[in-house]
Structure formats: C-alpha cells, structure tokens
C-alpha cells in the first residue's frame, strides 16, 4: 500500500500529459454538474415522511409559525362546508315583464281574458319559477332551501313552494279550461316565453363560499419564537408535517440568511462532491492504474455516476420517496461487465454516498441499496447470458424487500409499518434492472467496450465468419480451435480474461481465408511456396494480418478482437522464410523488414498469452516425439525466443505469469498428444 501511494505521488509530481488534462477537465465538469444538481436553497432543508420518525436533532422555531390544519382535516372541513353551504339565488323581473307584454298584445283573447291571464301569470311568478336543472336538485332533496340577498340582508327560504317551468305552465293552463282561451294561450306561445325568474347568483355564492373556506383555513394556533417544533425520534404526524412545511416555506421567503452562510453552504457542497470524485480517482490510480490510464474508461465511469445521480434527483423531486425506483444495481452491473467486480463495488458505494443527502433516512437508504447492489454483483459474477439478468432482477427485488422489512422490524417492531408503496417501488426498480442489457448495449456502441455476452455470441462457431473459415480453411479452423483451448486454459490460471482470449483466438487467423493454400495446415502434399522466392512467400504469409483486419471490419467485429488479430504475431519475423533467404544469401547483410509482421507487439496479458499459444500450437504439430521432455523443451524454446526478441516488452505480463503459462501449455499439450492404448485384434477374425 505504501509503495502504491508512493508511486501515485511520484506520478502526480510529473508534468501533466494531454490525458491528465482531459481527466482533470472531466473531474471539474462532473463536479460542476453535480453541484448544480444538488438540492439547495436559503432555507434549511429536511427530508421526512408522514408517520415516520424525525431523523434530525431538536428543531425549534426561529420565528412565530402559524399552525395550519393538516391536509386530511382541512379536506374534511372543506367537504363539510361544501355540503352545508346554501347557494344564493336572485329574482329577476325580465321574464315576467316579457311574458306580460305578450299577453297584452294577444288579439285572440278578449280584454277580460287578457286581464285574467295577466293576474295568473303574476301569481305564478310571485310563487317563483325555476329552471329544470334546479328543479331536479329540489326533487332529489339536494336543494332544500336557497338564500336571497336584498340590500345586503340575506334571507333563507324553503324551495318547497317553487315551481318548475312545466309546473308553472300547468298552473296557468288549469286556470283556463275553455277551448277558446287555450287557443289564445297557444297563439302567444306561452310555453316558450315562460322563463324562470328565480336563478342562481354564482358570483355571490362563490364569494360567500370563499369567505367561509378562508375562515376555516385560518391558523388554529401559533408556535412562538424559540418554542419546540419536533425532536429526534418523534413521529411526524400529519399535523406536524403541515407545520414543518409551513416552516420551510417561511424560511425560504425569509431574508435572514446571510450571504456568508450561503457561501459556506455552497463550499461544503463542493467539498462533498470533490471528496467523492477524488476517492474515485484515487482508487483507480492506486488499484486500477490500467483503467485510470484510459481516458475513455474514466469518462465512462464518471458519466455513469453523474447520470444516475441526476436521474435520482429527478425521481426524488417528482415523486417523494421514489428514490428507491432508481436502479442503482445497474451501476454495479455495468462496471462489473466492462471492468471488474471490485471497481463495480467501489463505484456502487460512492454513488450511494453521493445520493445519501437526498434520502430522508440515510442509514436505511445506504443499507438497502448496498445490499441490493452486492446481490446484483454476486448474481452476475459469471455474466454470459442475457437470461441471467432476469434472475438477477428477481434476486435484487428479494434483497430490497428482505433488507427493508428487516429494518422496519428492527426500528419499529411492527410489521404493519412495512409500506406496500415501498414494495411497489422495489418492483419497479427490479423491472428497470432487468433492462441492464440494453444499457450495456448502448455503452458498447458509445464507448467501444465489449461485454462478455457479446464475446460469447461471437464465439458461436455458427457465426458467418467462423463458418466460412471452417469451410475454406479447415486446417486453420482446427488450429484456431486448439489455440483457443490452449490460451483460455492459460488465461484462467493467471487470472486473465478467459472469454476474451477464447473468442479472439477463434478469429486471429481469419485473414488466411483469402489464400488458404499458402498455409501449411491447409496444404495436401502441394506447397505453392516451392515456386516462390522467400521474399514473395513472406509477403503472402504476412498479408494474412491486414487481410484479417479487413475482414474484421467487414464483419463489424469489436476493436478488442481486432487488436488480437494485429498483435498475435507482433513485430515478429516470418522466420522460416527469413532463415531460408539468409541461407541463400550467405555473407549478405539481409534487411529483416520484408520478413517482419506489421505489429504492434502485444499490449495486454491476453494478447501475449494468445501469441504464445499460437506459436506453441503451430510448432507442436511438427513434433515426432510427444514425450514430456520434448513438449517441455518445445514450449520453453518458443516462449523464451519470443521474450528474447522483445515481443512481450509492451505487455504487463510478469515472469510469474509466464512460468504459469508454460506449465499450463505443457499440461494441455500432454493431454492433447497423449499416447493411446493399442487395441488387440479380434481372436476369432485372426483365427
């Protein structure tokens, strides 16, 4: 640990490279984005929920706080006021005057009939005529009385004697039984002129109702300056919840917060964010220097953390308590797929710490999210199939539910406190977690990473490129299969990426498809190199590397596989043709460049393993004696020659790894070329 810290400090003292400046810019940009997203304001902000304990220390009133009714009792009061409210109506004279004018001008009625009809109409309107809609309320018992306001004096009258338009017409019609009078009434179209004169006064009704509601919503008390509001452990009742909301709104409107206090708050928030991101950078620099060296990897990890935090803030602001909808388990799955499980665990822990201030119950939130994230990491430590995500999502849901229930029972001792709404949030979280493969696919396209699932899919021998290799170059295909088995066994022993080596080995020689007959494993007694000089032969053999890269581009293979194609020979030589040419030109200073592969040399442990496996497997086919000694001598000679040529100088592989790889090759080749027992002949056939 001390040596690692010393190495990092020495590294930090060096002048910053372009990569260093980019990573510093990423750090600053992420800090600013997170700082802007942090919940802040002039008021002191608390996270709390109804019927849950208060998680903070004693809170006293810094000013007088009016005590409002809580939302439930306020709604009940509103409902009772609305139910008991008597609407305001008014009497209008226009309908009566309009109808009497028509009666006076009725030519079919005699003067006596017109006078009698006018009296009946006057009597009906004095009783009061209402619309059919109002009459429906009266008949249904919903409007037993109405209120009239005259000269600012309100009087309440029963609706029992009021008439509907139809009833009023019947009253008038009964007063004129003779046929002549009825025809005169019909002539003046009495039914259409008979309009209601008792109509709702919506303006006055709204004014009176608003006044009643305003009086009902008046404060029912006052918490005076310095008086206790709530203390740690107290249950946040609906009434206390309302008081706390009033306190926060008044504090937000208050101008008592000094500028220096605001700046100090911002400074604390910036320091909090920088500590989190600094811990991430220190972890990568100390324990994952290869990841830290890659700007792309740093940008990917920081983008994931910032993106999940912004999503958590949005969920928290839209739906209170919806922080548990955020699938933090994905943040443990994705780094585990692209990097390693320890990095995934550390990223998960930092993200939980970053989001803790959003939660009203930080301990509960940290515990539940950490348990769920660790469950996701454990369930996908061998992630190779998409179906595993469904299983992982189910396990994450179980982890959420069990850990949440355990906390509720421990803190409250009552199973009834377990919220069904929270269980629903966990279910939504699990569904979102099951879509992690889509998230992985997007990151593969954006950052150029290759997941284990993609490698498993590429290693299917029914893949069009591998099928073409098996048909056109059967010998090369068998060689690739053998190299894949040999290299993956060695990668497993040294802790390298087994699936990457296994898949890349299958594709490393696909460039031989263009000229299969020029490679020994595909020849059947005829060697076309016999008719060529060594320089031409070397050119054809070396060309399988650029041809393989061209085919890889056409097949859209990931970059990590193309790196193996270009590095599996490194800057090595086509030694057979080089040595042949040197023999044919003794005493001449031979230029090795025409016989040298384009490279580059292996850059990773996995590429070094495959270079060794490729050379050892090809050379093993020329052995006539498959004894342990001959196989051991072959493996040591091939790998030691590569090391002497400096082909593995750019790879982080260690001498301990090389020793383990040699041992793995020897064991595997002994198994592949073991002596078989000769079967005795059938005695009956011999006889």
Q: Looking at residue 398, what is its pLDDT?
A: 95
* Sheet with strand 145-150: strands edge to edge: 153-158, 145-150, 88-91, 198-200
CA angle, 63 as apex, 57 and 64 as ends, to 5°? Answer: 110
CA trace torsion 95, 97, 102, 106 (10° rounding): 130
Query: When comparing pLDDT for 150 and 288, which is higher?
Result: 288
Query: When comparing pLDDT for 320 and 407, which is higher?
Result: 407
| Stretch (H or E) spanning 198 | strand 198-200
Query: When comparing pLDDT for 373 and 109, which is higher?
Result: 373
- For the chain, the average pLDDT equals 85
Here the tokens at position 469 are 């290799």
Pick from 353, 362, 288, 369: which is nearest to 34 by CA? 353
Confidence of residue 163 (pLDDT cuts 50, 70, 90): confident
Helix, coil or strand: residue 535: helix
Q: Looking at residue 257, what is its pLDDT?
A: 52
Q: Looking at residue 280, what is its pLDDT?
A: 95
Query: When comparing pLDDT for 47 and 654, which is higher?
Result: 654
Phi, psi (5° rounding) for residue 440?
A: -65, -40
CA distances from 547 to 30, 508, 538, 615, 624 (A): 42, 11, 14, 19, 33
Confidence of residue 401 (pLDDT cuts 50, 70, 90): very high
Contacts 24+ apart (CB under 8 A), 390-396: 390/434, 392/329, 392/333, 392/433, 392/434, 392/436, 393/430, 393/431, 393/433, 393/434, 394/430, 396/329, 396/372, 396/429, 396/430, 396/433
Confidence of residue 464 (pLDDT cuts 50, 70, 90): very high
Least confident of 104-108, 267-271, 592-596: 104-108
The residues facing 200 across adjacent strands are 89
Is the confidence at residue 62, as pLDDT, over 90? no
Q: What is the pLDDT of residues 524-569, one digit of tens each?
A: 878 888 888 999 999 999 999 999 999 999 999 999 999 999 999 9
Q: Looking at residue 233, what is its pLDDT?
A: 74
Task: Give residue 617's region: left, alpha or beta (phi > 0; psi -120 to 50).
Answer: alpha
Interatomic CA distance for residues 100 and 120, integer angstroms: 10
| Stretch (H or E) spanning 350 | helix 341-355
275-288 residues labelled b (16+ CB within 10 A) or e (exposed): ebbeebbebbbeeb
What is the share, in percent, of the chain residues with pLDDT greater than 70? 91
Q: Looking at residue 176, what is its pLDDT?
A: 76
Is the confidence at residue 332, as pLDDT, over 80? yes
The residues facing 228 across adjacent strands are 60
DSSP tag of 44: P
Q: Looking at residue 44, what is its pLDDT?
A: 56
Confidence of residue 384 (pLDDT cuts 50, 70, 90): low
Count CB-CB contacts under 10 A for residue 194.
Answer: 22
Q: Looking at residue 209, what is its pLDDT?
A: 85
Here the tokens at position 383 are 């992630």
Query: When comparing pLDDT for 431 and 418, which is higher?
Result: 431
Question: Of the spans 43-47, 626-630, 674-678, which averages the highest pLDDT?
Answer: 626-630
Is the confidence at residue 77, as pLDDT, over 60? yes
CA distances from 602 to 569, 648, 650, 659 (A): 8, 6, 6, 18
Q: Write out the DSSP string of 645-681.
A: TTTTTTS---HHHHHHHHHHHHHHHHHHTPPPPPPPP
Residue that has been written with the tokens 């990457």 in this structure: 500
Interatomic CA distance for residues 229 and 44, integer angstroms: 14
Query: When comparing pLDDT for 329 and 172, which is higher?
Result: 329
Question: Of the spans 107-121, 339-353, 615-629, which averages the highest pLDDT?
Answer: 339-353
Within 8 A by CB and 6+ apart from 431, the residues are 393
Q: What is the pLDDT of residues 622-664, one digit of tens each?
A: 888 888 899 999 999 999 999 999 999 999 999 999 999 999 9
DSSP tag of 335: H
The residues facing 163 across adjacent strands are 129
Query: When comparing pLDDT for 682 and 644, which is higher?
Result: 644
Interatomic CA distance for residues 286 and 667, integer angstroms: 36
45 alpha-carbon distance from chain centroid? 27
Report yes or no on whether pTM surpasses 0.75.
no
Q: Looking at residue 10, what is its pLDDT?
A: 47
Is the confidence at residue 483, as pLDDT, over 90? yes
Q: What is the pLDDT of residues 241-297, one digit of tens each?
A: 888 888 877 776 665 555 677 788 889 899 999 999 999 999 999 999 989 998 999
Within 8 A by CB and 6+ apart from 140, the residues are none
CA trace torsion 571, 574, 579, 580 (10° rounding): -150
Q: Looking at residue 651, what is its pLDDT?
A: 93
Phi, psi (5° rounding) for residue 158?
A: -75, 150
CA distances from 244 to 225, 248, 257, 363 (A): 14, 6, 18, 22
Architecture of domain 477-672: Orthogonal Bundle (1.10)
Interatomic CA distance for residues 438 and 403, integer angstroms: 28
Q: Looking at residue 18, what is its pLDDT?
A: 82
Residues 429 and 326 sit within 8 Å (Cβ to Cβ): yes
CA distances from 444 to 345, 453, 456 (A): 20, 11, 15
Contacts 24+ apart (CB under 8 A), 74-78: 74/216, 74/217, 77/216, 78/213, 78/216
Within 8 A by CB and 6+ apart from 261, the residues are none
The residues facing 326 across adjacent strands are none
Pairing type for strands 145-150 and 153-158 reads: antiparallel
24-35 residues labelled b (16+ CB within 10 A) or e (exposed): eebbeebbebbe
Q: What is the pLDDT of residues 491-507, one digit of tens each?
A: 999 989 898 999 999 99
Question: Of the spans 51-55, 140-144, 588-592, 639-643, which averages the highest pLDDT?
Answer: 639-643
Helix, coil or strand: residue 435: coil
Q: Looking at residue 1, what is its pLDDT?
A: 42
Helix, coil or strand: residue 222: strand
Q: Looking at residue 117, what is its pLDDT?
A: 78
What is the share, in percent, of the chain residues with pLDDT greater than 90? 38
Interatomic CA distance for residues 507 and 479, integer angstroms: 11
| Side-chain half-sphere exposure of 148, counting CA atoms within 13 A | 12
Q: Looking at residue 4, what is its pLDDT?
A: 47
In the chain, which segments carry CATH 1.10.3210?
477-672
Interatomic CA distance for residues 408 and 422, integer angstroms: 12
Is the confidence at residue 443, as pLDDT, over 90? no
């Amino acid at each position: 640990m001390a040596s690692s810290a010393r190495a990092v400090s020495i590294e930090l003292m060096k002048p910053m490279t372009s990569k260093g400046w980019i990573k510093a810019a990423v750090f600053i940009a992420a800090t600013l984005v997170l700082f802007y997203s942090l919940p802040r304001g002039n008021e002191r902000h608390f996270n709390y929920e109804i019927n849950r304990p208060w998680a903070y220390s004693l809170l006293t009133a810094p000013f007088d706080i009016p005590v409002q009714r809580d939302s439930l009792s306020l709604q009940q009061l509103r409902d009772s006021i609305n139910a008991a409210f008597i609407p305001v109506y008014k009497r209008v004279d226009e309908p009566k005057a309009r109808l009497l004018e028509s009666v006076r001008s009725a030519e079919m009625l005699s003067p006596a009939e017109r006078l009698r009809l006018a009296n009946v109409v006057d009597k009906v309107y004095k009783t009061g005529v209402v619309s059919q809609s109002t009459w429906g309320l009266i008949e249904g018992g919903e409007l037993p009385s109405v209120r009239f306001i005259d000269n600012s004096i309100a009087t309440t009258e029963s609706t029992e004697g009021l008439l509907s338009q139809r009833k009023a017409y019947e009253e008038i019609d009964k007063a004129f039984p003779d046929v002549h009078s009825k025809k005169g009434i019909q002539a003046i179209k009495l039914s259409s002129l008979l309009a209601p004169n008792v109509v709702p006064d919506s303006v006055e009704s709204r004014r009176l109702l608003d006044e009643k509601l305003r009086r009902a919503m008046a404060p029912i008390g006052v918490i005076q300056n310095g008086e206790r509001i709530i203390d740690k452990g107290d249950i946040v009742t609906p009434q206390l919840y309302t008081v706390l909301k009033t306190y926060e709104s008044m504090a937000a409107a208050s101008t008592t917060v000094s500028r220096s206090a605001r700046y100090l708050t911002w400074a604390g928030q910036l320091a909090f964010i920088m500590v989190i991101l600094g811990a991430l950078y220190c972890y990568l620099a100390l324990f994952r220097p290869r990841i830290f060296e890659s700007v792309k990897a740093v940008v990917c990890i920081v983008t994931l953390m910032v993106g999940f935090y912004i999503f958590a803030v949005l969920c928290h602001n839209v739906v209170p308590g919806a922080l548990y909808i955020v699938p933090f388990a994905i943040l443990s799955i994705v780094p585990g797929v692209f990097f390693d499980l320890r990095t995934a665990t550390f990223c998960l822990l930092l993200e939980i710490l970053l989001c803790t201030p959003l939660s009203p119950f930080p301990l509960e939130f940290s515990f539940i999210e950490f348990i769920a994230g660790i469950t996701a990491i454990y369930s996908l430590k061998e992630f190779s199939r998409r179906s595993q995500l469904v299983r992982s999502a189910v396990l994450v849901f179980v982890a959420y539910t069990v850990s949440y229930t355990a906390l509720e029972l421990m803190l409250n001792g009552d199973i009834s406190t377990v919220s069904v709404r929270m269980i629903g949030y966990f279910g939504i979280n699990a569904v979102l977690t099951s879509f992690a493969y889509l998230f992985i696919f997007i990151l593969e396209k954006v950052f150029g990473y290759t997941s284990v699932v993609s490698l498993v899919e590429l290693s299917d021998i029914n893949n069009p490129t591998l099928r073409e290799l098996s048909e056109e170059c059967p010998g090369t295909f068998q060689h690739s299969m053998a190299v894949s088995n040999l290299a993956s066994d060695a990668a497993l022993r040294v802790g390298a990426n087994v699936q990457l080596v296994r898949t890349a080995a299958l594709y490393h020689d696909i460039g031989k498809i263009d000229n299969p007959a020029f490679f020994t494993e595909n020849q059947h007694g005829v060697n076309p190199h016999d008719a060529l000089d060594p320089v031409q032969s070397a050119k054809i053999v070396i060309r399988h590397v650029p041809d393989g890269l061209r085919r890889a581009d056409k097949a859209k293979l990931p970059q990590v596989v193309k790196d193996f194609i270009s590095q599996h020979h490194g800057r090595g030589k086509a030694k057979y043709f080089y040595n042949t040419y040197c023999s044919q030109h003794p005493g001449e200073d031979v230029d090795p460049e025409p016989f040298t592969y384009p490279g580059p040399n292996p850059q990773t442990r996995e590429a070094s393993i495959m270079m060794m496996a490729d050379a050892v497997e090809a050379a093993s086919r020329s052995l006539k004696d498959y004894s342990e000694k001959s196989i051991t001598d072959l493996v040591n000679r091939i790998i030691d020659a590569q090391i002497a040529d400096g082909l593995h100088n750019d790879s982080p592989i260690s001498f301990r790894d090389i020793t383990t790889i040699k041992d793995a090759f020897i064991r595997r080749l002994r198994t592949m070329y073991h002596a078989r027992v000769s079967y005795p002949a059938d005695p009956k056939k011999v006889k």
